Amino acid sequence: MRVTAPPRAFAVCGFQGSGKTTLLEEVIRELRGRGLSVGAVKTDAHGLRVDGAGTDSDRLYRAGAEVAVLAPGEALHRRSEDEPGGGRRRAVEPLAARLTSRHDLVLVEGGKGSSLPKIWLGRPGEEAEPPANVAAVELVLPWDSERVAGTLRTLERLLDRDWSSGPMAGGVLAGGASRRMGTPKADLEIAGKTLLRRTGEILGERLAPVVRLGGDGGPWPCLPDPPGLVGPLAGMVAAQRWAPGTTWVFVACDLPRLSSEVLEWLLARRRPGTWAVIPRAGGVSQPLMAVYEPMLRPRLEALAGSESPSPSRLVGTERVIDPEVPGELEDAFHGANTSAEWLRETLLPGQDPPRG
């Protein structure tokens, strides 16, 4: 079976003595200095030698267990790549894909037989051309070239490509009880369309799929809240569990002035190293019209199960930005929780608000 390369995973390849580890050390330090989270995979044709023979953890591993070794400030996870039935998995792509769920990018040392995009390194005094059976080579670097600079430029190009072309979905948060409104807000109509349909259609201009989070009904798939979770975070967690490698734009269904322009503005704030874009409108955080990257899922899961399950608690945490919304777009963030607010927010230009 052909293994597909996961996004945001790249390999640095070359024969023994080509300087792969030395290059990656420098590149990883530079990427970390730029605010990126980096995962790394090391391949070795000779087998792993991480535990000395006869140590307690090695004895447990040899007995057939999957072993986690914990020590102050670090941890090691060791498992076999044997499959049931005696086969062996050697593909690097599945492991890289698991790491991309937690990092901005993953760098693989080796993996020349993989489907990953590759940078090929030459050895001293030899031609740097890769063998004909090595596919997806994006850059060839001779021994005496500017390797760090060339690698960083190529990784930046590939990361930007994957970041902009990755899957993005829209989640309409429509599970509230609407007690103050007195009727389900998702069913309120504006310009002949329900708020649910209007919100979903605006998201659908740029995102696919669009799903309803909470409640039921409508032209899109409906995801129920996970058991034991409540509030908007329940819908967000349901969406990320349903499509874990996807960038999600979550939007409350009670925004009658939502527009394509504000969605474009929001998506334009995305960039590698940023795991959530939670804008501020009039100085107030707006976590229910925001972008959440897949790497943020563990934090959302933890918040959803906490005593105070509010996505606004993400503001100010690592890799979460809160840009101020331009004044001309602020109206899009004005929600309607009561009938009076609904009348005010749905007035046509030049129309006077109702008296009383």
Q: What is the pLDDT of residues 219-239, one digit of tens each?
A: 889 999 999 998 999 999 999
User: What are the tens digits of pLDDT across the range 71-125?
Assistant: 787 777 777 665 444 444 457 898 888 889 999 999 999 999 999 999 999 999 9
pLDDT digits 0-9 by tens, 157-201: 999 999 999 999 999 998 665 566 556 677 778 878 888 999 999
Over the Cα atoms of the chain, what is R_g? 25
Mean pLDDT of the chain: 86
Q: In the chain, where are the structural domains located?
A: 9-43+92-165, 168-345
168-345 has the same fold as 9-43+92-165: no
- What's at 49, amino acid-wise? R
pTM score, two decimals? 0.86
Domain at 168-345, CATH homologous superfamily:
Spore Coat Polysaccharide Biosynthesis Protein SpsA; Chain A (3.90.550.10)
Of 31-45, 133-147, 235-249, 333-347, the range with the lowest mean pLDDT is 333-347
* Of 60 and 2, the one with more pLDDT: 60
> Hey, what CATH topology would domain 9-43+92-165 get?
Rossmann fold (3.40.50)
pLDDT more than 70, % of the chain: 83
